[in-house]
Structure 1
Amino acid sequence: MPPLKRAKPGPGQESVWDYPRPPRVETSAELVEITLGGVVVARSSDALRVLETSHPPTYYLPHADFVAGALVPVEGSSYCEWKGVAAYLDVVGGDRVAAAAGWTYPTPSLGFEVLRDHVAVMPAAMDRCTVEGQTVQPQQGGFYGGWITSRVVGPFKGGPGTHGW
């Protein structure tokens, strides 16, 4: 059951309740940085945003925009009804390893082919993720990889009581 009280977007903001299902993928020229272990492990102005009803955007950066050695393939996979089978990656930065905190779609489903060779990370597992210099707040719940900035309003799926949304 969706929430009864939706936040009204202000100027320059988007409501996650206006995002589509199935999700939409759009390009983003915003500067996105990911820091782990005190080291910037990725920097891109060529990211993709996946937008899905009730979720903050998930940013996917080109694999090539991660520093060498920052992504290590690991065992395990999961299935998304829209995007296909995800493969997991450890993210390595400085003296830290964020276990299985990154994922990619080596062979994305029809309609999501643009995600090939792109990687998303769990912002809660990183030291810091930023979009245009603004620090991202991770989506609650530990399962979803949404990035909350002042650009988006909710409420967001992932927190207590939102499982059935």
Structure 2
Amino acid sequence: MRMRQRVEPGPGQDSVWDYPRPPRVEAVPERVRIEFGGHVVVDTVDAVRVLETSHPPVYYVPRDAVTAELLPAPGASLCEFKGAAKYLSMRVGDRVADSAIWYYPTPSPGYEALAGRIAVYPGRVDRCEVAGETVVPQQGDFYGGWITSKVVGPFKGAPGTWGW
């Protein structure tokens, strides 16, 4: 599949095609909220996001900001930039979001800001928000980007986009 044409960003928007490779980590001033199982399980203004070419931002919050129970989950992955990732499931009451979270126990040099933080797949929880705006999950089951009105694509992740 050929990549669709880059969407030109409007005022106050970013194009993911202007994001760097290797990725950049930056602090964000906006409030980040995550809901699951009828509860707000994260509500923080201490977040960072990772910006990488062709991907919507991924938001990382302090692990200790999560009020849900976190359970070890099977599997691991490797990012050529950030290092080896492990996975967690989230439980609130009887509800479990399997492998909804990933983190880097020992981030690679240059990504130390991710230490002690977790990222959440927005499609595996009830709702994620940035600055009061509900996030649209990135398509696919691998990347976990958070799409808001402030970012335009096209975005990698949907079927047929792996070769971009």
Class of the TM-score when normalised by the shorter of the 2 chains? over 0.9
Q: Supply the distance in 2 between the matched residues of 1:128 and 1:85 (Cα, whole angstroms).
A: 27
Contact 1:36 1:94 in 2 (8 A): no
**Residue 53 of structure 1 aligns with which residue?**
53
Alignment partner of 1:74 is 2:92: no
Q: Supply the distance in 2 between the matched residues of 1:118 and 1:141 (Cα, whole angstroms).
A: 23
Measure how far apart 1:78 and its partner are: 1.0
1:28-107 to 2 correspondence within 5 Å? 28-67=28-67, 69-107=68-106
Considering only aligned residues, what root-mean-square deviation do their CA atoms show, in Å?
1.3
Q: Supply the distance in 1 between the matched residues of 2:82 and 2:60 (Cα, whole angstroms).
A: 13
TM-score, normalised to structure 2's length?
0.95
Measure how far apart 1:160 and its partner are: 2.2
| Code of the aligned partner of 2:32 | V
1:35-59 per-residue CA deviation (whole Å, 9 max, x = no partner) reads 0111111111010100000000000
Name the count of aligned residue pairs: 164
**Residue 127 of structure 1 aligns with which residue?**
126
Question: Structure 1 runs of 4+ off > 3 angstroms?
Answer: none
Contact 2:50 2:57 in 1 (8 A): yes
Q: Supply the distance in 2 between the matched residues of 1:107 and 1:124 (Cα, whole angstroms).
A: 26
Range with greater deviation from structure 2 (71-80 or 55-64): 71-80
Q: Supply the distance in 1 between the matched residues of 2:154 and 2:128 (Cα, whole angstroms).
A: 21
1:108-123 to 2 correspondence within 5 Å? 108-123=107-122
1:119-147 per-residue CA deviation (whole Å, 9 max, x = no partner) reads 00110000000111111000001111100
Identity of aligned residues (%): 61
| Code of the aligned partner of 2:119 | A
Classify 1:133/1:156 alpha carbon distance in 2 versus 1 (closer, same or farther; 3 Å): same
Q: Supply the distance in 1 between the matched residues of 2:87 and 2:158 (Cα, whole angstroms).
A: 23
Q: Supply the distance in 2 between the matched residues of 1:133 and 1:94 (Cα, whole angstroms).
A: 25
Q: Supply the distance in 1 between the matched residues of 2:2 and 2:42 (Cα, whole angstroms).
A: 35
SS of match in other structure, 1:124: helix
Gaps of 5+ in 1: none
TM-score, normalised to structure 1's length?
0.95
Contact 2:4 2:154 in 1 (8 A): no
| Code of the aligned partner of 1:50 | V
1:51-105 per-residue CA deviation (whole Å, 9 max, x = no partner) reads 00000000000111111x4322223211111110111110122431111110110
